[in-house]
Chains A and B, each alone.
Chain A
Amino acid sequence: DQQVKQNSPSLSVQEGRISILNCDYTNSMFDYFLWYKKYPAEGPTFLISISSIKDKNEDGRFTVFLNKSAKHLSLHIVPSQPGDSAVYFCAASAETGANNLFFGTGTRLTVIP
């Protein structure tokens, strides 16, 4: 049973506009959330994270929002750039002591020049 869900397999956005990627989770024990970015033939690379005690975390063009009551988080990229085109994975972790991650199925973002 998928505990982390990304319901949009793909998203296309014009360069310079905002990209919004969404993620939902079912396990209320998750207390840390991460976004990873993946290019073809490479491993995922960490992008940004948020603790459950916060509702927003910002890093340059990337902002992650967390709505705990709705069990929903989103990643905003502003402005979007062609180099942002990749697959984005949402991931979540519960306090287990081993940093184990549960991943969503990914959203392929295409930024059109």
Chain B
Amino acid sequence: NAGVTQTPKFRVLKTGQSMTLLCAQDMNHEYMYWYRQDPGMGLRLIHYSVGEGTTAKGEVPDGYNVSRLKKQNFLLGLESAAPSQTSVYFCASSSNSGTVSYNEQFFGPGTRLTVL
């Protein structure tokens, strides 16, 4: 079991360039999430998905788009990167088991993105 994996691990972009971050999970989880972490701040939710083909906005969705075409993958896109999007991006997944009140999120190792 690889758990949650993220590709790439590091990336440097110029302002205005586009890129896609890939998240994959092999735990058959229904829910997937994208967060960003900035210095002095906690993780903030960008977008999330409660199932294949569905997406929803989190706390800080502006400037990002997502897609969940397959259950195991969740893609985060930046159409026109800005220096304010320099951050560490974490993907997470969780199950939706109805037998417990809450299902913990499992996180990937992160992608460090720098926008010049």
Contacts and interface: CB of A to CB of B under 8 A. Distances in A.
Interface of A: 2, 4, 6, 9, 31-32, 34, 36, 41-46, 49, 51, 89, 91, 93, 97-106
B48 interface: yes
Interface residues of B, number: 29
Contacts, number: 66
Given A42-B109, A99-B31, A105-B42, A51 B101 contact: yes
A4 B44 CA distance: 11
B32 to A, nearest CB: 10
Interface of B: 4, 31, 33, 35, 40-45, 48, 50, 56, 58-59, 90, 92, 94, 96, 101-110
A98 B102 contact: no
B40 A42 contact: no
A102 B42 CA distance: 8
Contacts of B103: 99
B42 A4 contact: yes
A101 B105 contact: yes
Nearest to A90: B42
B56 A43 contact: no
A99 B110 contact: no
Given A44-B107, A98-B56, A100-B48, A93 B102 contact: yes
B36 to A, nearest CB: 11
24 contacts: A2-B42, A41-B110, A42-B109, A42-B110, A44-B43, A46-B104, A46-B105, A46-B106, A89-B43, A97-B50, A98-B48, A99-B94, A99-B96, A99-B103, A100-B45, A100-B48, A101-B45, A102-B45, A103-B35, A103-B43, A103-B44, A105-B40, A105-B41, A105-B42
